[in-house]
Structure 1
Amino acid sequence: MTGRPPKRQRIEPRFHDGESGSLDMRLTAEDRPAAGQRPNAPRKAKPANRQNASSGSRSGPARRKSAKSRRGKGGRKRRGGNSRLLRFVKRGAYWSAVLGIWGIVVVAGVLGYYAAHLPPTSEWAVPKRPPNIRIVSASGHLIANRGDTGGEAVRLEQLPHYLPEAVMAIEDRRFRSHFGIDPIGLARAVFVNASSGRLVQGGSTLTQQLAKNLFLEPDRTFSRKMQEVVLSLWLEQKFSKDEILEMYLNRVYLGAGAYGVDAAARRYFGKSARLVTLNEAAILAGLLKAPSRYAPTNNPKLSEERAQTVLLAMHDAGYIDDDQVKVALAETATIVANRQTSSENYVADWVMELLPGYVGSIDTDVIVDTTIDLDLQHAAERSLRTALASEGGKLAVSQGAVVTLDGSGAVKALIGGANYARSQYNRAIHARRQPGSAFKPFVYLAAVEQGLTPETIRVDEPVRIGNWAPQNYTRKYRGPVTLTEALSLSLNTVAARLAQEVGPARVIDTAQRLGISSPLQKNASIALGTSEVTPLEIAAAFVPFSNGGYGVVPHVIRSIRTMKGKLLYSRKGDGPGRVIDPYSLGAMNRMMAETLSTGTGRAAELEGRPAAGKTGTSQDFRDGWFIGYTGQLTTAVWIGNDDNSPTKRATGGSLPARIWKDVMVAGHDGLPVSALPGIYEAPVQVAEPAGSGLVPPGRIGDDPGRPILPEPGKGRGPLNLLQRIFGG
């Protein structure tokens, strides 16, 4: 019979209950995607009957154990570790964000609190830089910068590029990228300072430093620091980076009273900041850390080391290459001597005294054009210093002054003392001293205007005027002498007689008409210069003898302009006009020329050049003077002591005469020889006022010609007068 397959017993699937042949519905390792396999990839086929798949069939627990072993010992641990790390990172990021937000809120609150203590932002404004006064010579060379800064304001584009780069490299390398505050630099500074246990680095940016310099006091408090931050943020919002950098470079303090890079460049290198070299720029940038400590004038070696640090910082920042570093390191900066010791500072100080009277208050940089000849200024300074150094000790003289003017009254040189660094007192302008016999020309001029001549005879003999009995320097008497001899030899008795004849009041009027402005005592002793005058005013009063008889107003300022060229002041006009008539002028020049030829001023004689002048020695040799002139220049020299103590017989014909000669030789270098005005002119007869025999003083200013001024009691004809003037 056909056989039918045996009927098999149906086995129903059921969950594992520990018996063999049961169905295990749990996943095994093969049921899971392998590493890198897509989840929907086809799975490897399984045996239909797990029990018959192999002779070594395993129970459920055995298979679970096998699956665990196939997963590897560290599989679950690795997955759990990665998960925990991920959760940690997420939580860290979350809380960092939270803390960052709260930090911003707190910082903003703190800044807002301290900002509230500042004036309203509508009132915030960058204060104007203090104006600089640039004082220049007649040829345009710098004499001095005056003002709170000591230098000019320079535009950023006028500076060599490596100067601002040096500052940024050493002070604020991320200046161009930060917003006024440098968080990176601040964090680094905090870390370095915390690690070292002391303040090593600062975190302030250039903007913060500018804010502090512009608006805040230098105290180190938390409140000031927060206000500095607020103002820095405002500056960054208000101005461009270039504008901030320019303001900083023009205002930062760099030692020795110099504010701004131009002032510092002039102070240390004697040049504008526009012209500094790379090495000099590094020196200036190095000063920012500690101006006094790194100043090349105080410690050249330390300054050089600091400059090398700046150069390396510039190289690291990419501003300069290897070759530029090598060239700069090989360069030696030339440090100028301290300009604060030079005599030009007396001129600069005087200009600053005069300036408000010309232009009032100044709120911008200006240029003051002066009449000073710097070559003559330096020559006069050398002459005075050399003379005092060689003979000052021997003669017990410690001070001196020199003033030189041209025929218009323009001051060409002015030395106010032996050494400006030791004493800034300007003796040429402010020191009133007894002129001694240097005052006698005013006495003789008054006498000549009253009719006397150079050949008029007076007797040199003992004289008494009231209780006063003047004596000659030599204590000897010559008897009858001409006025020319009496003046050239500086005979006191004759001068006293002449003052008595014309009257002290007329002598004072004459001196004031020529330019003496100090108070003069109306007494007989005025003939010997007992009333005090300044070197400047007596020099100005002698100028009419050199320029043809015209009074002058001594002046040193020619014009004042802003840096943009706007004219604020220009000198116009002349002096008071004619103050000596031509005849009197010729007579006086003839007499005073003898002082240099045969009289007390022989040490001042100029070879091949007509000159005239007068020596002066005050009582007890306290003052020595020589005041003289040519047809082009007039110079006054004074020596003495500030405490008015006597010298050791220093007379006007000794040291002052030699100083005067040195100054005048230098001053006339290249100038043509010029005759003294009026000395060779013959007089012209004019009518005399009836009954007086004298020319009224009013005729002097009107210049009616060359009047014949006869000696009282003598012939009045032209021939007689010519004989008396020219002899024979």
Structure 2
Amino acid sequence: MTRKTPRKPPLVADKRYSRTAGGTAKSARSNAKPKPTKKAPASSRARKRRTTARRKGGGGIGGFFRRLIGGILRLIWRITWRVGAVVCLIVGLWVGYVYTSLPEVSAQLDGRAQGSVTMLDRNGDVFAWRGDQFGGVVTTETVSPNIKNAIVATEDKRFYRHFGVSPRGVASAVRINLSEGRGPLSGHGGSTITQQTAKLLCLGEPFDPKSGMTESQYEAKCRRGTLQRKIEEAIYAMAMELKYTKDEILTIYMNRAFLGAGARGFEAASQRYFGKASSDVTPAEAAMLAGLLVAPSRFAPTNNLTRSQNRADVIVGLMEQQGYLTAAQAQQARDNPAQLSQAAAERAGGYFADWVMSSGPEYFTRNTTEDVIIRTTLDRRLQAAAEEAMQFIFQEKVRPGSKAQAAIVVMSADGAVRAMVGGRETKVAGAFNRAIQAKRQTGSAFKPFVYATALDLGASPLDVVVDEPFCMTIPGSGQWCPNNYTNRHYGSVTLTDALKDSLNIPAVKVSEKAGRDLVRQVASQFGIESDLALGPALALGASESTLIEMTGAYAGILNGGSAVTPYGLTELKLLGDRDPLMGADGGIGERVIQKQAAEQLIWMMEKVVSEGSGKRAALPGWQAAGKTGTTQAARDAWFIGFTAEYVTGVWMGYDDNTPLTGVTGSGLPAEIWHETMVRVHKGLDPVPLPMRAPIAPTQPQPAPSGRGKSLGDVVDNVLRDIFGGGGGGNNRPPQVNNR
């Protein structure tokens, strides 16, 4: 009998997951034998690898280069972020170090290396500034919003949004520079207001006068535009952004910025150009001030008002685009452009202010470290009169293109200078001042001092001197024979006629008889400090002098014979002080000749104007006295004279000593004097001159020889007049012998 084999249960796959115990399924699954798989052919595997490689981009030569470039980029990135991290660390440490060195805002507002000088006229009104003018601290709260808005709109419209440096601005500036054919760092800088402030602060390096560097060299160093300097400015700017608020940075900028004409800060500039506080400026005025930031000298309204106004129009447009002005406000600003104040229009006092600065104490004027207030003698009405007279004569009487120059000084009898014009260009400052700097031969304008000496010795204006051919032997030079301007001789003439007609031979005779040394002494005591000629040509004005010296000497005649020192400063004090440090630096000095002699000389000089060579200078309704002067070949022409109120001197000539054509002292200089004095005396009531007419002699009088003349003196003088000369009427005239 056969035995049956028990039937095996069918193979049933284990359930993947158990509903009762998850561990059972997992155990079974782990114990189950893997199902054998059929191995793919080798060719199929190769195709699969190639396909995968192509998908990854690594196949062939192209893939190789792509992998190479990718590797390089990955390497660069790894290096870059590491270097960047190091740079950021260095920059952060650098910024932190600068941050710790920054002072408080108040210490950054006034960094001037020198002080300022503010000049007031005789009425106490400001007319001139010198030095670095600082009008006082302003802040973003005290200044007009128009100024704040104009600055931001012009210089840095993203000022309140960046961290001190604007990469967008730098990139834009580089692009513009390259498009204009310049280097990337030349021209437009792309600097933010913060960076500009850092430059104004010179990165915290103050000016040290002891360093041997001038202030201009120091400023050039602060403005240099090298790459290294740009990086340092950026670091300093970021440190400022950490230390100060945006408004504090803008405050420093507004107080430090140079705005032309010596104005440091917007308060000084507002006072300088508009005569008002910075809190009161209009949009048009604010735009003009902001327009100065890019080029203070070029756009200064005192240099070219029209150009400054055109620049302001551009700023107004920017303010309108950025929403600081409405269309109506912008149009109003364009229709009513900013105008200069009267003081600014007068170009800061010109020649007169320059003279005061040069004549005052150096430590309170040219090199002051303080803010100084100087009250002066200037009368702006008289200054305008002199300038108008100068311009009128040159426009109406001088041929176009002429390079001839002229100068005018107007003063009171005590030497107080009321007006000064040092050249034809009247609206200037810092120019060559012919009124005080040009030493020129005086010609016959010197003759009053010859006659002053004779009158003081007792001579009379009616004394007689013989005008005849005359020669002298000068030791070491030989024979010298002066001649008259007309080449004629007039016989016996009075001293008055000799002066009135500007005769040369009588002047030489009077000088020689009075004593050449005494004439030199009298002229020197009257204030002619220049070296005076030693020979007999002294009487004919062979010596050189300045216009202000000669005018001051004539003022001594007007005031009764006492010397004067011309002056322009009456009071000097420091800003904020009540008591002055010094008073007037000139005025009436010691007596030179007797009052009677001075009054008689004035009488003689009045005849010069009313009857003689100075007739063109005559003033309607006023008594006037004066004297013409012309040197050899008309290289210099003078007219100096006075009324009871004012003394005025006029010089005319060429700077290079070229002879004037058809000009003598009795011509154009007398006309300039006339035009000046007509304007000066406008509105004044006529006052007679302090002159004394001589008593007519009972018998003819010879030329003077001294006080208390005896009969023997009279006879001796008569013999001298008769026999003291002779010969040589055809000799050439001396170097100076004209009217």
TM range, normalised to the smaller chain?
A: 0.7 to 0.9
- TM-score, length basis structure 2: 0.71
| Partners of 1:637 and 1:292 in 2: CA distance | 33
Range with greater deviation from structure 2 (189-198 or 499-508) = 189-198
Give the direction of change, closer, same or farther, for the CA distance of 1:609–1:203 in structure 2 (3 Å limit): closer
Matched, 1:538 2:546: no
| Partners of 1:435 and 1:711 in 2: CA distance | 37
1:307 counterpart (304, 315, 321): 315
2:452 counterpart residue number: 445
Q: Secondary structure at the match of 2:674?
A: helix
Q: Secondary structure at the match of 1:552?
A: strand
| Partners of 1:663 and 1:438 in 2: CA distance | 19
1:713 counterpart residue number: 713
Matched, 1:252 2:257: yes
Contact 2:128 2:348 in 1 (8 A): no
Aligned-residue offset at 1:267: 7.5
Letter in 1 for 2:419: A
Give the direction of change, closer, same or farther, for the CA distance of 1:300–1:226 in structure 2 (3 Å limit): closer
Matched, 1:163 2:163: no
Q: Secondary structure at the match of 1:519?
A: coil
Post-superposition Cα deviations, 1:639-681, rounded to whole Å, max 9, x if no partner, equal 1111112112311111111111111122222333222224269
Letter in 2 for 1:447: A
1:428 counterpart (435, 446, 450): 435
Q: Secondary structure at the match of 2:713?
A: coil
2:504 counterpart (486, 492, 506): 492
Give the direction of change, closer, same or farther, for the CA distance of 1:289–1:524 in structure 2 (3 Å limit): closer
Matched, 1:377 2:383: yes
Range with greater deviation from structure 2 (390-399 or 543-552) = 390-399
Letter in 2 for 1:604: A
Contact 1:343 1:415 in 2 (8 A): no
| Partners of 1:711 and 1:411 in 2: CA distance | 47
Letter in 1 for 2:583: S
Matched, 1:592 2:575: no
Range with greater deviation from structure 2 (186-195 or 606-615) = 186-195
2:629 counterpart residue number: 616
| Partners of 1:161 and 1:712 in 2: CA distance | 90
2:537 counterpart residue number: 525
| Partners of 2:88 and 2:227 in 1: CA distance | 13
Matched, 1:670 2:683: yes
Q: Secondary structure at the match of 2:393?
A: helix
Matched, 1:406 2:412: yes
What pairs up with 1:259-338 in 2 under 5 angstroms?
Answer: 260-261=265-266, 273=278, 275-289=280-294, 297=304, 299=307, 303=311, 306-315=314-323, 319-320=324-325, 323-334=328-339
Q: Secondary structure at the match of 1:480?
A: strand
Range with greater deviation from structure 2 (263-272 or 208-217) = 263-272
Q: Secondary structure at the match of 1:485?
A: helix
Matched, 1:212 2:199: yes
Contact 1:346 1:414 in 2 (8 A): yes
Give the direction of change, closer, same or farther, for the CA distance of 1:536–1:239 in structure 2 (3 Å limit): farther
Range with greater deviation from structure 2 (302-311 or 434-443) = 302-311
Letter in 2 for 1:490: S
Matched, 1:650 2:671: no
Post-superposition Cα deviations, 1:503-528, rounded to whole Å, max 9, x if no partner, equal 21011001011111001012111010
Give the direction of change, closer, same or farther, for the CA distance of 1:523–1:712 in structure 2 (3 Å limit): farther
| Partners of 2:188 and 2:630 in 1: CA distance | 65
Aligned-residue offset at 1:231: 3.2
Post-superposition Cα deviations, 1:471-490, rounded to whole Å, max 9, x if no partner, equal 11111222111111111111
2:116 counterpart (128, 132, 136): 132
Determine what percentage of the aligned residue pairs are the same residue.
36
Range with greater deviation from structure 2 (285-294 or 619-628) = 285-294
| Partners of 2:390 and 2:490 in 1: CA distance | 35
1:507 counterpart (507, 519, 530): 519
Q: Secondary structure at the match of 1:430?
A: coil
Contact 1:549 1:581 in 2 (8 A): yes
| Partners of 1:109 and 1:351 in 2: CA distance | 55
Q: Cα RMSD between the aligned structures?
A: 4.2
Contact 2:267 2:278 in 1 (8 A): yes
| Partners of 1:325 and 1:449 in 2: CA distance | 73
2:574 counterpart residue number: 562
| Partners of 1:398 and 1:138 in 2: CA distance | 32
1:391 counterpart (391, 397, 400): 397
Aligned-residue offset at 1:462: 1.3
Contact 1:582 1:678 in 2 (8 A): no
Aligned-residue offset at 1:238: 6.4
Give the direction of change, closer, same or farther, for the CA distance of 1:234–1:128 in structure 2 (3 Å limit): farther
Higher relative contact order (CA 8 A, sep 6+): 2
Contact 2:466 2:492 in 1 (8 A): yes
Q: Secondary structure at the match of 2:650?
A: strand
| Partners of 1:462 and 1:396 in 2: CA distance | 38
Contact 1:612 1:630 in 2 (8 A): yes
Aligned-residue offset at 1:713: 3.3
1:659 counterpart residue number: 672
Post-superposition Cα deviations, 1:97-144, rounded to whole Å, max 9, x if no partner, equal xx9999787434235458879997799974336433223322344433
Contact 2:514 2:705 in 1 (8 A): no
Q: Which has the larger radius of gyration?
A: 1
Contact 1:551 1:577 in 2 (8 A): yes
| Partners of 2:170 and 2:160 in 1: CA distance | 22
What pairs up with 1:455-470 in 2 under 5 angstroms?
Answer: 455-466=462-473, 467-470=479-482
| Partners of 1:551 and 1:251 in 2: CA distance | 48
Give the direction of change, closer, same or farther, for the CA distance of 1:173–1:711 in structure 2 (3 Å limit): farther
Number of residue equivalences: 601
Aligned-residue offset at 1:293: 8.2
| Partners of 1:558 and 1:272 in 2: CA distance | 27
Give the direction of change, closer, same or farther, for the CA distance of 1:173–1:192 in structure 2 (3 Å limit): closer
1:225 counterpart residue number: 230
| Partners of 1:581 and 1:271 in 2: CA distance | 52
Give the direction of change, closer, same or farther, for the CA distance of 1:486–1:275 in structure 2 (3 Å limit): farther
- TM-score, length basis structure 1: 0.72
Give the direction of change, closer, same or farther, for the CA distance of 1:670–1:390 in structure 2 (3 Å limit): closer
Give the direction of change, closer, same or farther, for the CA distance of 1:115–1:229 in structure 2 (3 Å limit): farther
Give the direction of change, closer, same or farther, for the CA distance of 1:214–1:227 in structure 2 (3 Å limit): same
Q: Secondary structure at the match of 1:348?
A: helix
Contact 2:144 2:279 in 1 (8 A): yes
Q: Secondary structure at the match of 1:392?
A: coil
Q: Secondary structure at the match of 1:167?
A: helix
Letter in 2 for 1:167: I
| Partners of 1:194 and 1:667 in 2: CA distance | 59
| Partners of 1:26 and 1:628 in 2: CA distance | 135
Give the direction of change, closer, same or farther, for the CA distance of 1:190–1:474 in structure 2 (3 Å limit): closer
Matched, 1:144 2:128: yes
Give the direction of change, closer, same or farther, for the CA distance of 1:593–1:630 in structure 2 (3 Å limit): same
Structure 2 stretches of 5 or more lacking a match?
A: 1-11, 23-79, 204-221, 474-478, 697-703, 716-739
Post-superposition Cα deviations, 1:561-595, rounded to whole Å, max 9, x if no partner, equal 33324534322674323222121112111111110
Post-superposition Cα deviations, 1:184-238, rounded to whole Å, max 9, x if no partner, equal xx25436767998877986644232111122153333443234324433555676
Contact 2:133 2:268 in 1 (8 A): yes
